[in-house]
Amino acid sequence: MPASFSSLKPALSDLSLSKRLVLVHASPTVNADELLSALLETTSGFITPTFTPKSLLPLEYHPAHPKVDVSSAEPFHPAMPADEAVGSFAELVRQHPKAKRSLHPVFSFAGIHADALIHAQTDREPYAPIVSLAEQDGVILLIGMDQRVNFSIHYGEKIAGRMQFIRWALTENGIAECPNFPGDAEGFNALVDNVKSFTRRADVNGMAIQAIPVNDLLRAVVNKIHSDPYALLCSDPTCERCEVVRWG
């Protein structure tokens, strides 16, 4: 049974979020309306991913080789729906009358009462909302999700000096270069033990909720990678991004 407002609100209140900005990663199975109502009453503001991978051009595309077939991409525009994989909560927030949305063609965020985080993002700086969240001592909220969806870990990788990528995306104004593109996230659950000590937890109808201070998370990511350059990479030998990071 999806968590109700009457159970979500006290659970979120117990996580001490009332004066904090929050980045929410919510399970597609969560009751989006109930979660939105609970967040509006228990946080000072929040953002959530409204990612649009459909705008990405094929991996082999490069401006020097423009003959690659790009017909599979859909042009990003401000009203483009969030990808179904991020769940109905993202779409509910995006369509809210008080919401603002950033304009990164792949990694946009939508938020309410979090304008500074939204406006910080550009095509060249996909992690800018995370930077702003860290400056304001914000919190990451994982609701029924594990660390593989935790986009802030990618920013920690960048801080630690890990290789970033360049991809191109289709927009209504043409093709946009997207530098600082992150690597693969399948290995991110290896961070679980490193964040336990500062993660606050709640459970609602069997659904785990984790509140992780973003600055503590970033320090944990950097420390882990500095102690092991291959940390957080996945074990799939066919994963091109992780293999490139391994072998440079």
Chain segment 10-53, per-residue pLDDT in tens = 999 999 898 899 999 999 999 999 999 999 999 999 999 999 99
Reduced to 3 states (helix: H, G, I; strand: E, B; else coil), residue 124 is coil
CA distances to 81, 87, 128, 202, 233 from 77, in Å: 9, 19, 20, 37, 32
- Among candidate residues 105, 231, 213, the one with its CA nearest the CA of residue 157: 231
- pLDDT tens readout for residues 58-86: 999 999 887 889 999 999 999 999 999 99
Backbone phi, psi, residue 192, to 5°: -50, -50
- pLDDT tens readout for residues 124-171: 999 999 999 999 999 999 999 999 999 999 999 999 999 999 999 999
Q: Rounded to an integer, what distance in angstroms lies between the CA atom of residue 237 and that of residue 59?
A: 18
Percentage helix, strand, coil, to 5, in the chain?
35, 20, 40
CA distances to 34, 49, 112, 126 from 93, in Å: 12, 10, 8, 19
Q: With a cut of 90, say whether residue 3 has pLDDT above it.
A: no
pLDDT at 4: 63
Q: With a cut of 60, say whether residue 191 has pLDDT above it.
A: yes
Whole-model pTM?
0.96
Q: Are 154 and 60 in contact (CB under 8 A)?
A: no
Numbers of helices and strands, H then E, in the chain? 9, 9
